Every structure is written in C-alpha cells, then in structure tokens.
C-alpha cells in the first residue's frame, strides 16, 4: 500500500533582498531564479517543481514586496497578490537585518489565513545567536500562528529540515504537473533572465531597472544552441552605457551570460546580443503585456 499522495503550492514571499530566490534555488536544487544583491532582481513569479513518489511541491519565487512606483512594478506586485491567494503553504522569508519592513497590510493578510506559514529567518550564517533569538521572539509576537525556523539559504543550512516540514504540511492531492517537469517557464525565459542577471551585476543605478531582454531566436542542434537576443533600454543614453567604450561592457555581459547559459543547458552556446531603444517600455501597458507581465 502506498501512502496518500500529497501536493501543493508553496509560495515564497517577503521584502526585497532577504534571500527568496537563493532559498528557492536551494530547495529545488537548480538555479532557476537569478540572484543579485540588488532589490527587484526577480520580476516574475517563477515556479520550481520538486516531485517524489508520494508528493509534488510547486514552489513559487516572487518579486520582493514593495510600493509600486511605475507600471512594471504594479505588474510585479500582481504576481505577489496571486501568490497570496493560491498558497497551500506560505514560506515567509525575512532576514536577520530586516532593513525593509513588510507592510502591515501584507502581515494582516497572513494573520487572517488558515494556511500554514513557515516563517524563515535567513542569513543566520552572518549573525549571532543573541540577534537570532531576538528576531525569533519578535516574529512570534508579530505573527503568532507562524512556525519560525532559522536558515541560511546561501550555506544551505536547515534546507533538508525545511523540506521535510513542507512535505508534512502539504495537503493530500494529485500532482499538478508531470513528475519530470521542474518549472513552468520556457527555455527562452531562462535565457532572458540569465542575460538580465549579468546586466544587474555589471551596471549601476537606474540602468538595470530600465532593461528588458528578449530572445528573438533560439536554435538548437545536436552540439550547439544559437541564440540571438535584444537588450531593450528606455533611452539612447542608456544604450551607450550598455554598449560601453568600444563595446567592452556589452562584450563582458555576453561572455558572462554565455558561461552561465552553457552551464544551464549543458551545451555549447553561441550568443548574439543587440541593444535597442524601446522608449519608456516600463510604463507602456501593451509593451509590458508583450513581455509577459
Ligand atoms: P531576494 O531579493 O529575496 O530574492 O534575494 P536574493 O536571493 O536575490 O539574495 C539577495 C542577496 O542576499 C544576495 O546577495 C544573496 O547572495 C544574499 N543571500 C541570500 N541568502 C543568504 C544567506 O543565507 N546568507 C548570506 N550571507 N547571504 C545570503
Ligand atoms: Mg529574488
């Protein structure tokens, strides 16, 4: 007799930069979500699926919770709202620093839910026992129903324990996806994200936030994948910065992205990048829609 099959949506939420994407990658065991020290690195809801004989966990990584300032950010917060409505288990991530506070309205939603909440205090690799205990007490007060656990997503400390607890908390149910699948996103999506990560890492200030990437062609044969992608910016001046002196900056982005793409697809990659101006795309409803927001 096999045990009852369990399945559910386990949604990772929290303010920017606390380690949501690092945690999701650690739980799934794949680099599905891009990670940088910059806020708003994650713009989409990205699913990471983990299946066993008797369970299927559909994790969702989400953008950090912020007050939206422009249309793109409004769309990003809609992904968060959906993650609040369809969760079977909440993974609320915070870190030992709490530089940004979670808005009271989101906390209130969590106080009203009847779904289990695992509150994970992350980055314990860089704090003291006293500081951690202070945070544990604080969160027991803020969100009494939550089960609080300490974690280091980066050092993979307590990941197995969290996995075990999640499986216990999953409701009974059939698998949502085929057991071979590990994400809801396409290969092209991961290409755009890997390029965007390199842009976040290589440019300062407003530049990364003004960039969107699009894959125009993705041709795979036995030995090599040939990819042509556009890097869209909002203004001409930004185009110059992306390309850099004698094309040096763009070249570096291309080299770094290709390396990660080869690791992700396990194949040789030929990557061609063009920079284009798409005026004010972040505020344009139709453009955002065409980019999948
Ligand atoms: P997100 O914005 O919540 O998705 O956060 P990310 O996963 O992108 O991580 C933000 C920054 O925190 C990155 O520089 C990570 O390397 C770092 N980080 C994430 N988890 C840990 C951790 O457990 N320990 C430490 N020291 N840094 C971490
Ligand atoms: Mg993230």
Nearest CA to ligand 1 atom 19: 19
Closest ligand 1 atom to residue 17 Cα is: 2
Q: Mean pLDDT of successive 10-residue segments in the chain (293 residues)?
A: 86 97 96 93 96 97 95 96 97 94 94 97 96 94 96 97 98 96 95 97 93 97 97 96 97 98 97 97 94 92
Nearest CA to ligand 1 atom 5: 19
Superfamily per CATH, domain 6-169: P-loop containing nucleotide triphosphate hydrolases (3.40.50.300)
Q: Ligand 1 center to residue 232 CA distance, Å? A: 27
Gyration radius from the chain CA atoms: 20
Q: Ligand 1 center to residue 95 CA distance, Å? A: 9
Superfamily per CATH, domain 187-290: K homology (KH) domain (3.30.300.20)
Closest ligand 1 atom to residue 61 Cα is: 4
Which ligand has the minimum distance to the alpha carbon of residue 13? 1
> Are 196 and 292 a contacting pair, CB within 8 Å?
no
DSSP 35: -
- State the greatest distance between any 2 C-alpha atoms of the chain, in Å, as a whole number: 67
Q: Which among 14, 19, 23 is the best mutation to test ligand 1's pocket, defined by most ligand atoms within 8 Å of the CB? A: 19
Closest ligand 1 atom to residue 25 Cα is: 7
- Check the CA dihedral 47-40-215-291 and report its sign: positive
What is the residue whose two structure tokens read 């996103």? 185
Provide the pLDDT for residue 2.
59
Task: Determine the Cα–Cα distance for residues 291 and 285; give it in Å rounded to an integer.
Answer: 10
The domain ranges of the chain are 6-169, 187-290
Provide the pLDDT for residue 99.
87
Nearest CA to ligand 1 atom 17: 19
Q: Ligand 1 center to residue 122 CA distance, Å? A: 8
Which ligand has the minimum distance to the alpha carbon of residue 37? 1
> Are 158 and 152 a contacting pair, CB within 8 Å?
yes
Q: Ligand 2 center to residue 17 CA distance, Å? A: 7
> Are 198 and 268 a contacting pair, CB within 8 Å?
no
Which ligand has the minimum distance to the alpha carbon of residue 23? 1
Q: Which residues line ligand 1 (CB under 6 A)?
A: 14, 16-22, 35-37, 41-42, 64, 122-123, 125-126, 152-155
Q: Ligand 1 center to residue 53 CA distance, Å? A: 31
Task: Determine the Cα–Cα distance for residues 260 and 194; give it in Å rounded to an integer.
Answer: 7
């Amino acid at each position: 007799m096999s045990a009852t099959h369990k399945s559910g949506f386990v949604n990772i939420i929290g303010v920017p930069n606390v380690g949501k994407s690092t945690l999701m990658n650690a739980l799934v065991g794949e680099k599905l979500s891009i990670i940088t020290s910059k806020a708003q690195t994650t713009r989409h809801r990205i699913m990471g699926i983990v299946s066993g004989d008797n369970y299927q966990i559909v994790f969702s990584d989400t953008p950090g919770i912020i007050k939206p300032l422009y249309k793109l950010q409004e769309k990003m917060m809609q992904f968060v709202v959906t993650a609040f409505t369809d969760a079977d288990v909440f993974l609320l991530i915070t870190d030992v620093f709490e530089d940004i506070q979670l808005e009271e309205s989101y906390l209130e939603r969590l106080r009203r839910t009847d779904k289990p909440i695992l509150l994970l205090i992350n980055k314990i690799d860089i704090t003291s026992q006293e500081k951690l205990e202070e945070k544990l007490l604080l969160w027991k007060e803020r969100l009494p129903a939550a089960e609080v656990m300490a974690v280091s997503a980066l050092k993979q400390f307590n990941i197995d324990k969290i996995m075990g607890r999640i499986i216990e908390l999953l409701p009974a149910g059939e698998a949502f996806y085929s057991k071979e699948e590990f994400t809801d996103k396409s290969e092209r999506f991961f290409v755009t994200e890997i390029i965007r990560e390199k842009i976040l890492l290589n440019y300062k200030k407003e530049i990364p936030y003004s960039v969107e990437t699009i894959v125009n062609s993705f041709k795979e044969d036995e030995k090599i994948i040939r990819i042509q992608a556009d890097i869209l910016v909002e203004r001409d001046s930004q185009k110059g910065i992306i390309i850099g002196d004698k094309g040096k900056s763009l070249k570096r982005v291309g080299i770094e992205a290709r390396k990660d793409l080869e690791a992700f697809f396990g194949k040789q990659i030929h990557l061609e990048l063009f920079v284009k101006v798409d005026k004010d795309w972040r505020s344009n409803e139709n453009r955002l829609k065409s980019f999948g927001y």
